[in-house]
Amino acid sequence: MATISNPELLQLLRSEVIPAIGCTEPIAVALCTARAKELLGAEPDKITVYLSKNVYKNALAVGIPNTGMTGLPIAIALGATVGKSEYMLEVLRDATPEAVAYAKQYMLRVPATIKVDYDAPSLLYIHVEVANGNCTAQATIIDEHTNFVPFHISNSPKGVQYPIGSTPSNSEASDPSALSLRRVYDFAIAVDTSELSFLLEGAQMNTAAAETSFAEQYGHGLGRLLRPISNSEASNSPQGVQYPIGSTPSAQSLFGDTLFTKIISYTCGACDARMSGAMVQVMSNSGSGNQGISCSIPVYLYAKENQCSEEKTLRALALSNLTVIYIKQSLGRLSALCGCVVAATGSAAGITYLMGGNYEEITYAIKNMIANISGMICDGAKPGCALKVTSGVATAIFSAYLAMQHSYADSTEGIVEDDIDRTIRNLTRIGHDGMKVTDDLILDIMTHKQ
């Protein structure tokens, strides 16, 4: 196996840790629709969308930014009207109230036909066909949320050629067999931290998204409920926002006003806002905003509360983010395994490092995570994702603490092996290969509710 250079790993980080607005799957559908519309050169009067089951599953119940609506129809309508593919995962950046109002009318006038392609060539597959009169165009995204493949266009009113778009990287760093946790760790502790400022900016961006959720009621309001507050603050809360007051115990009385509570409330608060359609920008990881949130906020807040240096904070964020990328390379962009678990595993590594742990303790923390919540299913993007984020992040903190005491799951326990990379591969084999039937069953249950 060839050695992967630090510049190559830095480029991998930069390509996988990028800003996004809204839940990634419906946003990617909007992006693909926007590209097809641009190729058509006119507003479509017919739209047909084909989706892999995993994309469809993750777009059924999640809020679409600035619309007050959930699901695919409004995302597709916005992509066809106001979306700009040059914005990539921020494709709906220009979705003003006026643009949303127009898209809602357009959605009724030009309802999209949405089909699940059970024979899709990838778990992440989006194909959009649009027409205006006799003019037609198509756009396809595969494997990655912004990866367009060669398009087909006929009778283009513009009569011009369009670029194909991006293609998957041929870099060795994109090959899961080319990375190891040791290589991830060595990179994080040796890289020039002046190159990592975007990770700190991303963590601060995600923390700001959490603070948005404290100001209003989003989703289940989990971040607000877990955030320690006084009864006087609760009694003055905005109309419609519920706090645990009176006979119901407060978060502070149950969990205390601790860093643990703060980390959990902020992390799930950012998820609350994002899953409910708040117009907030977050820094994603491996195509998922929730993964970006879960691997950055806990590390950032732990470092801030413990007055860690900026250099150490940046190294911890690099370790966390790159650990997630490493695991996702063999797990895949989408699976039946909850991505929040993977992202929280990154946080466990980053927090262990901030606690003073070295490579050995970090492997212990990851083994604790894999021994604990590795079986959590993904049943689509939705407000309830905040519950899973909470479970993942809480477990990450426990795992890091236990690892620093040299208490960890060993090779006699379940899917854990002595070798950390084999342990990680056992997890991803279960998620990628072993849970395929589970994935089909989840979708069947979700689409046949009574």
Domain termination site, one of 154, 180, 202: 154
Compute the half-sphere exposure of residue 400: CA atoms within 13 Å on the CB side of its CA.
26
In a domain, 77, yes or no: yes
Express each pLDDT in 275-315 by its tens digit. Answer: 888 888 899 999 899 999 999 999 999 999 999 999 999 99
- A 10 A CB-CB count for 280 gives 23
| Dihedral angle over CA of 139, 144, 146, 148, nearest 10 | -30
Tell me, yes or no, whether 299 and 426 share the same domain: yes
Tell me, yes or no, whether 266 and 379 share the same domain: yes
In a domain, 159, yes or no: no
Express each pLDDT in 221-259 by its tens digit. Answer: 999 888 866 444 554 555 445 555 555 666 777 878 899
CATH classification of the domain holding 116: 3.30.1330
pLDDT of residue 152: 54
pLDDT of residue 68: 87
CATH classification of the domain holding 285: 1.10.4100.10
pLDDT of residue 448: 87
Tokens 């069947």 belong to residue: 444
In a domain, 180, yes or no: yes
| Length of the chain in terms of residues written | 450
Q: Name residue 9's amino acid.
A: L
Tell me, yes or no, whether 24 and 55 share the same domain: yes
pLDDT of residue 256: 81
Express each pLDDT in 30-70 by its tens digit. Answer: 999 999 999 999 999 999 999 999 899 888 888 898 898 98
pLDDT of residue 248: 62
Summarize the confidence of residues 360-364 as an average pLDDT: 98
249 DSSP assignment: P
Residues 6+ away with beta carbon under 8 Å from 17: 198, 199, 202, 283, 284, 285, 292, 321
Q: In terms of residue numbers, what domain contains 136? A: 20-154
pLDDT of residue 284: 93
Tell me, yes or no, whether 196 and 337 share the same domain: yes
**Helix orientation angle between 181-190 and 6-16, rounded to the nearest 10 degrees:** 100
Give the least confident one: 169-178, 322-331, 350-359: 169-178
Q: Give the Cα separation of 136 and 37 in Å (integer).
A: 9
Question: Structure tokens of 426?
Answer: 């056992």
pLDDT of residue 228: 66
Buried b (16+ CB within 10 A) or exposed e, 182-199: ebbbebbeebebeebebb
